[in-house]
Structure 1
Amino acid sequence: MMSAMDAPARTSADIRRWRRYLAAERAEAAVYRDLASRRTGEEREIMLALAAAEKRHEQHWLDLLGHDVGMPLKGDVRTRFLAFLARRFGGVFVLALVQRAESRSVYDRDDHATATMAADEQIHEEVVRSLATRGRNRLSGTFRAAVFGANDGLVSNLALVLGVGASGVAAGTVLLTGVAGLLAGALSMGAGEYISVRSQRELLEASTPDPETAHALPNLDVDANELALVYRARGMAAPDAQERADLVLARLAATGVTEGIDPDAEAASGDDLESHGTAWGAAISSFCFFASGAIVPVLPYLLGMTGNVAVVVASVLVGLCLAATGAVTGLLSGTSPITRALRQLAIGFGAAGVTYALGLLFGTSVA
């Protein structure tokens, strides 16, 4: 890549491309400023620094264009939509979209962009990825339950409804089967999540240091210093464990305050417990998520549809829902929403198709 001074002679195509780059840099800087306006502290400073970097890129294209800069252009549709979201929302979804936008930079393939600009764009992607990761971590537990529960309800009940319907039974029987599948599946999901979260919390509680142990510290044999064994049991090397134990006991001798044998471990365990939520909360949310997905294949039968019409409508509705959840997953993960939507459709309809074929086979054999 060349610097602005060494760049080849301009052409009409170059000028048009530079003007598009200029508009994109201005739009992206505006996105970062809008995101900064919705944040405080360190995240705000990071967003403003990214906006300043885009401003430097903007100046590069202004210098190249000179008198050919012309009237300001609008950014592309994706960037303008991103700006709209940033002004009104600014959450992890927007950051995931910004991360994906940064990954589409073409500066490393354009001779008129500098190597520094191309490197900036790569680093910007990593900065935004790191910021988005914070939101993804906060969202991951709930999001996993929502996607898993809703998709399980969509696919399992569609497979159940299509399989029973293909066997040739009456529409009323299909409806009853679908409702029974909804209730049975939702209750099973809720009970399973309750047991799972409750069991995990109990395991974490069993691994949390006992605060009462701190009262034993003043009576420890300083020469033997068995406190070092605690740290060695937690994975520290023997010299590090001894150093940590000596520090704790020295602080105790100086202040007379027993602060626990490892406040950091206690805090971490507390955070783990908090991040897993309550067992009842997990159970209720899983019940609702599954039911919200499982009701979709039943809707045509609730509305009085029968036969192939009900099958087609149920399949279309489920397909739209699967595509939507796949696209959202793709957006949040910073990958292609279309690819993730197609993956969801393939998996969901694959499972339902097998069940439908078995239902046809079973119905034919009975007849």
Structure 2
Amino acid sequence: MTTGPHPDAAGPARVPTRREVRRWRRNLADERAEASVYRDLARRRDGEEREILLALAEAEGRHEAHWLELLGDRAGRPLKGHWRTRVLGLLARRLGGVFVLALAQQAESRSTYDVDVDATPAMAADERIHGEVVRGLATRGRTRISGTFRAAVFGANDGLVSNLALILGIGATGVASSTVFLTGLAGLLAGALSMGAGEYVSVRSQRELLEASDPSPEAAAALPHLDVDANELALVYRARGQSAEAAREHADRVLATYTARTVIAPQGAAAEREAVGSAWGAAASSFCFFASGALVPVLPYLFGLEGPAALVLGCVLVGLALCATGATVGVLSGASPVRRAGRQLLIGLGAAGVTYVLGLLFGATVS
């Protein structure tokens, strides 16, 4: 940490410029705001996660002290932090959760301390490590919601794109608006039921495959009777992917201290189940989000619009919804929400556009 504002070689301290003072004050405000975000997040947690978040807030406090030392009596009235950090603080107080942690991860990655001549190398290194710490905390949350979240995002996007494509394809043939509307409702119900049932079967089957890898009680009961010299338990660990030497050492430790059935459980089994999620939760999430997505292109017809006006408005509404889902995925994955939104929009409207062209060709053929 520096000891004062730019000491010259001759001894007396150089008076900082107004621009430098403004920058230091902004950095001070940002550090205070970031520390507040971590304290707010810590209040919504307990145990190890709470301790980690409080440690991050303490580290931001050390950075705050650096800028206060540089400013001296020029600190003045406290400034507001960057608007992104203030929004993040509001979300931390109201929501918490993986969404806020993902935003905090992005905020840490935007640090400019590595090019700020008045920030110490240790501070720049701290910010980089803070990003990894927050990434680790966010990963825990992503793991907890990954199964249901995957079903929700997939269901919503499938509902948006498939029903818009269906409505555009039917509407392009020139049939009555009432027929398009009823087709959209039928697509909503059929798709939502199909998605819900398919997601249940998929997740349930995956959980059953994981359960088939669990060690049997009979195998665990045989542990105390194994020949210590032969140590066939090592074969279990080798079959699960460990090297011969590592498997032998693992087996020796288990036979010396075994206490329960879990001693030969495959590593990471609990985490895998948590990531897969609940079959009923995934099915309900997929059903509801598909239905909500499929309802969007039907809305113009519900409000009495017909013909091209209803089709155009449906495309606009679906486009906005695709951007929203893409941006959400981007935030939660720590990627650019703008790029993810653009990708979703391009893929969704591109698929619907192809169906519309096919509907035009089919309608022309019929007529």
Shared fold per TM-score greater than 0.5: yes
Counterpart of 2:324 in structure 1 is 324
Instruction: Work out the CA distance in 2 between the residues paired with 1:266 and 1:235.
Output: 10
Percent identical pairs in the alignment equals 69
Residue 183 (1) aligns with residue 180 (2): no
The 1:173–1:215 alpha-carbon spacing in structure 2 relative to 1, beyond 3 Å, is: same
After the TM superposition, list the runs of 4 or more consecutive aligned residues in structure 1 that deviate by more than 6 angstroms: none
Residue 315 (1) aligns with residue 321 (2): no
User: Deviation string for 1:28-51 (max 9, x for gaps)?
Assistant: 111112122222222222222211
Counterpart of 2:113 in structure 1 is 107
**What secondary structure, in the 3-state scheme, does the structure 2 residue paired with 1:168 have?**
coil
Instruction: Work out the CA distance in 2 between the residues paired with 1:77 and 1:270.
Output: 40
**What secondary structure, in the 3-state scheme, does the structure 1 residue paired with 2:16 have?**
coil
Counterpart of 1:333 in structure 2 is 333
**Aligned residues of 2:213 and 2:266 also touching (Cα < 8 A):** no
Match of 1:238 among 223, 231, 244: 244
- Aligned positions of 1:1-367 closer than 5 A: 4-6=4-6, 10-251=16-257, 259-260=260-261, 263=263, 265=265, 268-270=268-270, 272-273=272-273, 275-367=275-367
Please provide the CA RMSD for this pair: 2.4
Long gaps (5+) in structure 2:
8-13
Instruction: Work out the CA distance in 2 between the residues paired with 1:312 and 1:195.
Output: 36
Query: What number of residue pairs does the alignment pair up?
Result: 361
The 1:244–1:58 alpha-carbon spacing in structure 2 relative to 1, beyond 3 Å, is: closer
The 1:241–1:13 alpha-carbon spacing in structure 2 relative to 1, beyond 3 Å, is: closer
**Aligned residues of 1:82 and 1:98 also touching (Cα < 8 A):** yes
Instruction: Work out the CA distance in 2 between the residues paired with 1:131 and 1:224.
Output: 43
Moved more, 149-158 or 347-356: 347-356
Instruction: Work out the CA distance in 2 between the residues paired with 1:14 and 1:83.
Output: 26
The 1:266–1:339 alpha-carbon spacing in structure 2 relative to 1, beyond 3 Å, is: closer
Long gaps (5+) in structure 1:
none
User: Deviation string for 1:279-338 (max 9, x for gaps)?
Assistant: 344333322221111111112122221111111221121112111111111111122222
**What secondary structure, in the 3-state scheme, does the structure 1 residue paired with 2:67 have?**
helix
User: Deviation string for 1:46-96 (max 9, x for gaps)?
Assistant: 222211221221222222222322222111222111111112222111111
**Aligned residues of 1:326 and 1:342 also touching (Cα < 8 A):** yes
**Aligned residues of 1:25 and 1:58 also touching (Cα < 8 A):** yes
The 1:114–1:219 alpha-carbon spacing in structure 2 relative to 1, beyond 3 Å, is: closer
**Aligned residues of 1:3 and 1:114 also touching (Cα < 8 A):** no
Instruction: Work out the CA distance in 1 between the residues paired with 2:32 and 2:270.
Output: 44
Matched residue type, 1:67: D
**Aligned residues of 1:22 and 1:61 also touching (Cα < 8 A):** yes
Instruction: Work out the CA distance in 2 between the residues paired with 1:225 and 1:55.
Output: 54
The 1:313–1:220 alpha-carbon spacing in structure 2 relative to 1, beyond 3 Å, is: same
**What secondary structure, in the 3-state scheme, does the structure 2 residue paired with 1:107 have?**
coil
**What secondary structure, in the 3-state scheme, does the structure 1 residue paired with 2:212 have?**
helix
The structural deviation recorded for 1:4 is 4.8
**Aligned residues of 1:4 and 1:113 also touching (Cα < 8 A):** no
**Aligned residues of 2:167 and 2:297 also touching (Cα < 8 A):** yes
**Aligned residues of 2:92 and 2:100 also touching (Cα < 8 A):** yes
